């Protein structure tokens, strides 16, 4: 029994393996673009439908203002503690570097 090894350039070819002509390649690319556009439009419609169904509730002006102020207050609190923590960390590092000899 003889085993015949075929390299890439020696593989048998049939009609499907033949390279496409330029016009056939362009037609294939156009068809792929059309298919992509259809899928993209369907995706966008689905996203818009989902956004309409799951939109955030709307609040009146007073409630919206109070919610905004509450969020700002929470952020200020977190920022102040973060600044304090970083300052304390910097001071601790300086103290370690000052008193510990390497």
| Residue 9 within any structural domain of the chain | no
- Encoded tokens for 29: 């690319």
Domain extent, residue 33, equals 21-53
| Residue 4 within any structural domain of the chain | no
pTM, to two decimals: 0.43
Cα-to-chain-centroid distance, residue 92: 39
Classify 29 as helix, strand or coil: helix
Cα-to-chain-centroid distance, residue 89: 34
Instruction: Report the alpha-carbon angle 12-17-21, nearest 5.
Output: 135
Per-residue pLDDT of the chain (102 residues; tens, 9 = 90+): 455 555 545 544 445 677 889 999 999 999 999 999 999 999 999 999 999 888 877 788 888 899 999 999 999 999 999 999 999 999 999 999 999 987
- Return d(Cα 7, Cα 21) in angstroms, integer: 24
Number of folded domains that form the chain: 2
């Amino acid at each position: 029994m003889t085993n015949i090894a075929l390299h890439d350039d020696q593989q048998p070819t049939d009609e499907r393996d033949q390279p496409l002509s330029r016009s056939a390649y362009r037609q294939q690319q156009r068809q792929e673009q059309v298919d992509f556009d259809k899928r993209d439009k369907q995706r966008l419609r689905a996203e818009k439908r989902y956004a309409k169904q799951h939109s955030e509730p709307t609040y009146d002006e007073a409630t919206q203002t109070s919610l905004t102020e509450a969020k700002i207050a929470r952020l200020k609190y977190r920022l102040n503690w973060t600044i304090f923590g970083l300052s304390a960390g910097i001071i601790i590092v300086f103290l370690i570097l000052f008193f510990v000899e390497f």
